Chain A
Amino acid sequence: MNDSHYCPHTPEEIQEMLSAIGVASVEELFAPIPAELRATTFNIPPGMSEFETFSRMQEIAGENSQGMTHFIGGGFYDHIIPSVVDHLANRSEFYTAYTPYQPECSQGTLQALFEYQTAICRLTGLDVSNASLYDGGTACAEAAMMALRVTGRNKIVLDCCVSPFSRQVLKTYLFNLDVEIIEIAPLNGLLDRSALAAVLDDSVAAVLIQNPNFFGSIEDFSALAEQVHGVGALLIGSVYPISLGILKSPGEIGIDIAVGDGQSLGNPLSFGGPSFGFIAAKKTFIRNMPGRIVGETVDRNGTRGYVLTLQAREQHIKRHKATSNICSNQGLCALRGLIFLSSVGKEGLADLAGLNRDKAEYAKAALSEISGVTLLQAAVTFNEFTLVLPKNAAAVVAGLLELGIAAGVPLGQYYAGLENCLVVTVTEKRTKKEIDLFAKELEVALCN
């Protein structure tokens, strides 16, 4: 049967085309495939209409628990998304275009990416940004590889307060390269600075920290930056973009390469993706940046325009000597990030960050008041903090899930010895009522 809504030819048109080509059947066009190599099975079920397809997808979505209240983060955060983000990013002139190789007919994508790069530079207080990477974890890995190239050294020091997922991704990326990775175990949910000092020498290419870290703690890394630069190494900071509404920017800290996950900037949770990774750096490192970069220039008439630039770094020109193997970016997700940031705006992002902190502080007080519950660390936090429960956190979390509360990320599976610890995330979307209910249910769970 000829299904003509996506493959539009009528049987007559197919005949005309076959005659033009000079073959009798479509099958003849597959003659270059030796007969003995042809597929003998193809067990895909029969197709269906778009209406049946959508119903099936609804059924699948319905098999997940609905209406979970999220006090979990771990790199992805349940934030508001202004309506304009969906409406504008869903313009198909954006989403059905390709990488802007032909700038004259791609100025929409190119200017948007230039504006995105600008937003990331201003957010991070750094000079240059690329047009986005895959996600926060791969951005950490790309930043580490960038530092290896810049310094010509082969050692990376990892603060284990960095997300365990990002660290795992980084280790996977670097596994086959001749790179030594030194991991610094956390000290009460903070960077163990003396352990770091003990390994920091002029063989280190970069130190990777996260702020706020996986435990939720915020630290001032300004002195660390000086210390790292003192041995000629780079400081890479993984940051949470919403927090940069109020927190000291990577540029102000002295971070050389800032990375992070852009999901919280207008991208839905969507079971883990797509989001985007961002990377920004000091200008001197621009030729070592991975991925697409958009630059401003002029046309033949002197009119301002935008192009993909410094492409000699990239795989389609440099092949195995490229700065990265990355080919795509997460253009549409980065566009969502730009629209989000432009909608919320300069003052709004600070307000949003403040709102997150207000809610988290309220929850922190309410939860740590529960008998037997304490805070892991006295450090200041943004919208995440770590509780120490009087019992195994994994069991508590499993119990609360049954009540529709995703209570937090138990740390036992990521940090030996922290089995009773729970990282709780509270975004601006959580209401006082939800927080109070969570506190009540946690108290009950701990009594059982």
Chain B
Amino acid sequence: MQLIYEQSTPGRRGVKLPKTDVPAASALPESLLRKERAGLAEVSELDLVRHFTNLSRRNFSVDTNFYPLGSCTMKYNAKVLENAAALFAPFHPMTALLPGGEEFCQGTLGMLYDLGQLLADITGMDEVTTQPLAGAHGEMTGIMLVAAYHAAKGNKAKKKYVVVPDSSHGTNPASAAIAGYEIITVPTAPYGDMDLELFKKAMSDEVAAVMMTCPNTLGLFNPHIKEISDIAHSFDALMYYDGANLNAIMGKVKPGDIGFDVIHVNLHKTFGTPHGGGGPGSGPVGVKKALIPFLPQPRIVMDSAGKLLLETANPGTIGRTANFFGNFGVMAKAYAYIIMLGREGLIQVSEQAVLNANYIKEKLKGHYDLPYDMTCMHEVVFSASKQLEHGVHAIDIAKFLIDRGYHPPTVYFPMIVKEAIMIEPTETESKATMDAFIEVMIEAAQTAESNPQALHDAPLTMPISRLDETKAAREQNVCCAW
């Protein structure tokens, strides 16, 4: 397909601007002006609409295809949420930061406050900041809160390490590194979770925090989690909960109840806000009381009369992590989702997410190697090791699925499983959809034995076949030439 720039005709425009109602300003000095106009597209409105409409048709999406991408919680995004978020389009964030401005923003500040309260209840935390803009941003904020906590106790120099399991998301160690910590990685035991004995050996007074996902990236709930948090606390290390997998446990278990001190929540996973082709997400952070003094500013607080105010001058704060109050539009959707589903609805979400993952696990475990064969939570991780005997890799199975109209599961993650295929169906998929997917997965396994070349050749039905990624990395052509 042509690029928008290849469809440009000099002088053509896609929109008519408003007429001016004031005199023209005097010209700026030449030294401040650009020599040439920025080379943006010059297309009519219809050409623009066709271009982007046709581009959109080159995507698989939740609304067009089953999208069982493990660890990403690609659930259906309710349409009313889009309408709800649009209601807040006109509100300027600076209004709230003006002197006395909170008074004019009680609705939006109140919604953020209420969302914080709801998330605090769901996660068992004492307070939530809605400022972090995504999951990884929440992790960074959370670990900075941990660092501030240790610094306030005079332990900044002593606390050097953050402990993570080897199955953790890459963002965990990367976020801890920004907060100034070195990383200790603990291997996974044959029972599918961080090896308890090795964990004990890794722990010392120098550990600032332990970052866990629970259920972990294998989709397994760690039965030793309380013991782990007790051990961590005995060294004054805080427990960090990566909320990526919260969809499995709503109403069933609260991270705050089992020893976690700080948590981020991915609203775009558990709370039904769309993923937008990579963002925007939203990553509110919940904390226990001991960490409240360090929360980012401005912090939304409620006075005794129920009025929302912004606290902007707390000496203990880690500061600002984003320019305003977080991705408000995303939070409006998550808030609407929570109040719409309500208590029973959220419990049902987790129950059916877990039911669906276990159903797929049972149906496919005869066809694919299941390295950790036990009851899973919301996702299940297979290995294509059986298929590898025929020269077929997880990526080949992924590409075969594309030809059959399925977005592939996550492949090659977690890294601890060879040829990993990580399936997260989510609660919004019907049995019929999953049965059809299971059939195609079985067909892929059979084809791996009978005709591996067919899998190597896939996909054949897309506008493009497999791409030369080495060429892309070598040539670094990241911008259309002028």
Given A53-B340, A108-B59, A394-B99, does the pair A122, B40 have CB atoms closer than 8 Å? yes
Docked Cα-Cα span, A42 to B26, in Å, equals 64
The answer to whether A95 touches B276 (Cβ under 8 A) is yes
Given A98-B69, A98-B74, A115-B3, does the pair A428, B137 have CB atoms closer than 8 Å? no
Q: Please give, as numbers and ranges, the residues of chain A lying within 8 Å of B179 by CB-CB distance.
A: 176
Closest 8 CB pairs of A and B: A47-B342, A272-B324, A63-B107, A272-B93, A332-B276, A176-B180, A331-B278, A274-B280
Docked Cα-Cα span, A136 to B133, in Å, equals 12
Residue of A nearest to B23 (CB): A362
Please encode chain A, from 393 to 428, with 1 for each CB lying within 8 Å of some chain B CB and 0 for all others. 011011001000010011001000000000000001
Pull 20 A–B residue pairs with CB atoms less than 8 Å apart, ordered by A.
Answer: A9-B431, A20-B359, A68-B104, A88-B56, A93-B61, A95-B277, A97-B276, A103-B467, A115-B3, A134-B137, A268-B89, A270-B91, A276-B280, A292-B278, A297-B471, A327-B171, A330-B278, A346-B41, A349-B38, A433-B21
Q: Is B233 an interface residue (CB 8 A)?
A: no
Nearest CB of chain B from residue A347's CB, rounded to whole Å: 7
Q: Is A135 an interface residue (CB 8 A)?
A: yes
Residue of A nearest to B1 (CB): A111
Docked Cα-Cα span, A82 to B13, in Å, equals 12
Docked Cα-Cα span, A42 to B254, in Å, equals 9
Please encode chain B, from 31 to 69, with 1 for each CB lying within 8 Å of some chain A CB and 0 for all others. 111110111111101001101110111111111110101
Q: Please give, as numbers and ranges, the residues of chain B lying within 8 Å of A57 by CB-CB distance.
A: 84, 87, 332, 335-336
Q: Which of A72-80, A189-197, A198-206, A439-447 contacts B (4 or more CB under 8 A)?
A: A72-80
The answer to whether B170 touches A3 (Cβ under 8 A) is no
Q: Is B408 an interface residue (CB 8 A)?
A: yes
Docked Cα-Cα span, A39 to B255, in Å, equals 9
Q: Which of A312-332 contact B (CB under 8 A)?
A: 312, 314-322, 324-332
Q: Can you name 14 extra interface pairs (CB under 8 A) apart from A84-B49, A106-B277, A271-B105? A: A36-B226, A37-B226, A60-B111, A62-B107, A66-B90, A74-B94, A75-B323, A75-B324, A87-B49, A100-B277, A344-B14, A358-B23, A401-B95, A433-B21
Q: Is A44 an interface residue (CB 8 A)?
A: yes
Q: Is B285 an interface residue (CB 8 A)?
A: no
The answer to whether A331 touches B277 (Cβ under 8 A) is yes
Residue of A nearest to B462 (CB): A104
Number of interface residues of A (CB under 8 A): 216
Q: Please give, as numbers and ranges, the residues of chain A lying within 8 Å of B340 by CB-CB distance.
A: 47-50, 52-53
Docked Cα-Cα span, A148 to B118, in Å, equals 40
The answer to whether A406 touches B466 (Cβ under 8 A) is no
Given A295-B477, A409-B94, does the pair A342, B40 have CB atoms closer than 8 Å? yes
The answer to whether B281 touches A328 (Cβ under 8 A) is yes
Q: Is B383 an interface residue (CB 8 A)?
A: no
Q: Please give, as numbers and ranges, the residues of chain A lying within 8 Å of B336 by CB-CB distance.
A: 53-54, 56-57
The answer to whether B38 touches A39 (Cβ under 8 A) is no
Docked Cα-Cα span, A309 to B147, in Å, equals 33
Q: Please give, as numbers and ranges, the residues of chain A lying within 8 Å of B447 by CB-CB distance.
A: none
Q: Which of B37, B318, B431 is the one whose CB lies under 8 Å from A17?
A: B431
Q: Which of A115, A268, A297 is the one whose CB lies under 8 Å from B472?
A: A297
Q: Please give, as numbers and ranges, the residues of chain B lying within 8 Å of A327 by CB-CB distance.
A: 134-136, 169-171
The answer to whether A104 touches B464 (Cβ under 8 A) is yes
Given A318-B170, A322-B174, does the pair A84, B14 have CB atoms closer than 8 Å? yes
Q: Please give, as numbers and ranges, the residues of chain A lying within 8 Å of B72 by CB-CB distance.
A: 98
Residue of A nearest to B151 (CB): A176
Given A53-B84, A102-B408, does the pair A380, B29 have CB atoms closer than 8 Å? yes
The answer to whether A218 touches B323 (Cβ under 8 A) is no
The answer to whether A165 touches B22 (Cβ under 8 A) is no
Query: DSSP class of B's interface residues: helix, strand, loop or mixed?
Result: loop
Given A92-B63, A176-B147, does the pair A325, B139 have CB atoms closer than 8 Å? yes
The answer to whether A78 touches B479 (Cβ under 8 A) is no
Q: Is B200 an interface residue (CB 8 A)?
A: no
Q: Which of A152-160, A241-249, A369-377 contacts B (4 or more CB under 8 A)?
A: A241-249
Residue of B nearest to A34 (CB): B223
Please encode chain A, from 380 to 396, with 1 for each CB lying within 8 Å of some chain B CB and 0 for all others. 10000000000000110
Residue of A nearest to B41 (CB): A342
The answer to whether B343 touches A109 (Cβ under 8 A) is no
Docked Cα-Cα span, A47 to B87, in Å, equals 21
Q: Is A187 an interface residue (CB 8 A)?
A: no
Given A6-B78, A37-B226, A406-B92, does the pair A295, B133 have CB atoms closer than 8 Å? no
Docked Cα-Cα span, A325 to B340, in Å, equals 33
Q: Which of B353-378 contact A (CB under 8 A)?
A: 354-356, 358-359, 361-363, 374-375, 377
Number of interface residues of B (CB under 8 A): 209
Q: Which of B93-109 contact A (CB under 8 A)?
A: 93-101, 103-108
Docked Cα-Cα span, A345 to B9, in Å, equals 11
Q: Which of B80, B87, B278, B410 is the one whose CB lies under 8 Å from A100?
A: B278
Q: Is B311 an interface residue (CB 8 A)?
A: no
The answer to whether B12 touches A13 (Cβ under 8 A) is no
Q: Is B430 an interface residue (CB 8 A)?
A: yes
Q: Which of A94, A276, A330, A401 is the one whose CB lies under 8 Å from B61?
A: A94
Residue of A nearest to B347 (CB): A42
The answer to whether A44 touches B118 (Cβ under 8 A) is yes
Q: Please give, as numbers and ranges, the residues of chain B lying within 8 Å of A88 by CB-CB distance.
A: 48-49, 52-53, 56
Please encode chain B, from 341 to 353, with 1 for each CB lying within 8 Å of some chain A CB and 0 for all others. 1111111110110
The answer to whether A246 touches B465 (Cβ under 8 A) is no
Q: Is A278 an interface residue (CB 8 A)?
A: no
Docked Cα-Cα span, A167 to B53, in Å, equals 39
Nearest CB of chain A from residue B141's CB, rounded to whole Å: 9
The answer to whether B279 touches A329 (Cβ under 8 A) is yes
Q: Please give, as numbers and ranges, the residues of chain B lying within 8 Å of A264 by CB-CB distance.
A: none
Docked Cα-Cα span, A96 to B63, in Å, equals 6
Residue among B84, B135, B181, B459 with max Cβ neighbours from chain A (10 Å): B84
Docked Cα-Cα span, A338 to B51, in Å, equals 12
Given A105-B407, A325-B171, does the pair A333, B280 have CB atoms closer than 8 Å? yes
Q: Is B249 an interface residue (CB 8 A)?
A: yes
Q: Please give, as numbers and ranges, the residues of chain A lying within 8 Å of B377 by CB-CB distance.
A: 32
Q: Please give, as numbers and ranges, the residues of chain B lying within 8 Å of A428 by CB-CB distance.
A: 17-18
Q: Is A180 an interface residue (CB 8 A)?
A: no
Q: Which of B426-482 contact A (CB under 8 A)?
A: 427-431, 459, 462-469, 471-473, 475-480, 482
Nearest CB of chain A from residue B434's CB, rounded to whole Å: 9
Q: Which of A33, A82, A324, A358 is the one whose CB lies under 8 Å from B22?
A: A358
Docked Cα-Cα span, A331 to B88, in Å, equals 20
Residue of B nearest to A125 (CB): B34
